[in-house]
Amino acid sequence: MKRAYKFRFYPSPAQRAELTRTFGCVRLVWNKALDARTRAWAAGGRSTTYVQASAALTEWKRSDGLAFLNEVSSVPLQQPLRHQQAAFAAFFAKRARYPRFKSRKKSTASAEYTRSAFRWRDGQLTLAKMTEPLDIRWSQPLPDRAMPSTVTVSHDAAGRWFVSILVEETIAPLPMVEATVGVDVGLSSLAVLSTGEKIANPRYERRDRRKLARAQRDLSRKQDGSNNRKKARRRVARAYARITDRRTDFLHKLSTRLIRENQAVAIEDLSVRNMITNHTLARAISDASWRQLRSMLEYKAGWYGRELLVVDRWYPSTKVCSACGVLTDRLPLQVRLWTCRCGAGHDRDVNAARNILAAGLAER
C-alpha cells in the first residue's frame, strides 16, 4: 500500500526562491482553471475535462502575460489540474463542496512533484530546477529500498517547510487478539471506553487560548501591508501550529493504542459538520477533533488488519440499558449516573460505549 512520510526541511536561499516561485505559479494555475471551468458552466452548462484544462495551460504558457510559467517545472503545474478534476468529480457526486479559489494569505502553499520531476539517489532528494538536494531532517527512516513515487513540498503559515514522500510499503498485520472495545467520544472526556476507562480531553486550544488571544490582539494593531503585520501574523500562525501539532500527536498515540490492543473498535457515526453549527459548543467540538480521530482509526485499521465498526448515529446508545436492553424514555444531559428498572447502575458514558460495542458487533 501507499504511505506518506512527512519531514521538515530547511531550504537554501536559492531553493526558497525557486519553491516560492513554483507555489505562486501552482496557485495561479488552479485559480485560472477554476475560473475557466466556472465561466464555461455558467455560459452554457459545459463541463471541462482534464484534457481541455491541460490544453488551456499550454496556451497560457505561450501568452506574453503568463510566459513566466515556463520558468518553473511543468510537472507541479499539471498536478493542480488533476486535483481540480477530482474535486469536481467529488462535488458532482455530492461528496464535497464546490472547489474554492486559493488565497496567497490563507492557503498553505504546496507543490507536487511526480517521479519525472525529482531525483532520489543515495537517500538524497533533489527537485527539478534545483542543483542541490534538500536539507531534510530525517525524523524516522524510510522503509528499506523505498522508491518515492510522489513528493509534495509545502510551506505553512508558521514559516515551516515540509516535504511529504509517498512510497509503496508492505505493512504486516498485527497478531490477532481477542479484545474488542466500544468508544464513546465526548467533551469532558475525549473518549470513554466500554472497559470503563475514561481518557481525559487535553483541550489544547483552551490551554493556549490566552497566548493566542494576545497574539491576535497584537496582529489587529499592526498596519496593513507592513512588515510588522507580517511578523505578527507569523506569531499567530505559530500559536495555531503549536495547538494543532500537540493535538495531532495525542490523537495519533490514542488511535494507535486502540488499534494495537483491540481486534475490533466500535465507534458512533457522528455528523460533526452539523454539530458545530451549535455556536455554544462549536469551539470545544472543533478542539476535540472527533473526525480526525475517526480518520486515524480507519486507515490504521486497514494497515494492521483490524476492524472498525461504525454504529448508526441515531442509535440511542445512551438511553439503552447495557444489562437488560430496556430503552429509557427520558435521560437529561445533566444526568451522568442513573439506575435502570432492572437494578443495574450505569455511568452514562460507559453505558453508551458498551452499547456502541454491542451494536457494532451485532452489525458485523
150 φ, ψ to 5°?
-145, 140
For each of the chain's 364 residues, which pLDDT tens digit applies? Answer: 899 999 999 999 999 999 999 999 999 999 999 999 999 988 878 888 999 999 999 999 999 999 999 999 999 999 999 999 999 999 999 999 999 999 887 768 999 999 999 999 989 999 999 999 999 999 999 988 889 999 999 999 999 999 999 999 888 999 999 999 999 999 989 999 999 999 999 999 999 999 999 999 999 999 998 999 999 999 999 999 999 999 999 999 999 999 999 999 999 998 888 888 888 889 999 999 999 999 999 999 999 999 999 999 899 988 899 888 888 888 888 888 888 888 888 888 999 999 999 999 998 7
Q: What is the DSSP letter of 116?
A: G
> pTM for this one?
0.88
Q: What is the DSSP string of 47-59?
A: ---HHHHHHHHHH
C-alpha cell at 82: 488533476
Q: What is the DSSP letter of 71?
A: G
Amino acid at 145: R
User: Do residues 356 and 188 make contact, with C-beta atoms less than 8 angstroms apart?
Assistant: no
| Interior angle at CA 173, CA 167 and CA 179, nearest 5 | 140
Amino acid at 67: A
User: Do residues 346 and 322 make contact, with C-beta atoms less than 8 angstroms apart?
Assistant: yes
3-class DSSP assignment, residue 281: coil
Residue ranges of the domains in the chain?
2-168, 180-362
Q: To the nearest 5 percent, what fractions of the chain are helix, strand and coil?
A: 45, 20, 35
Which residues belong to the active site?
184, 268, 349
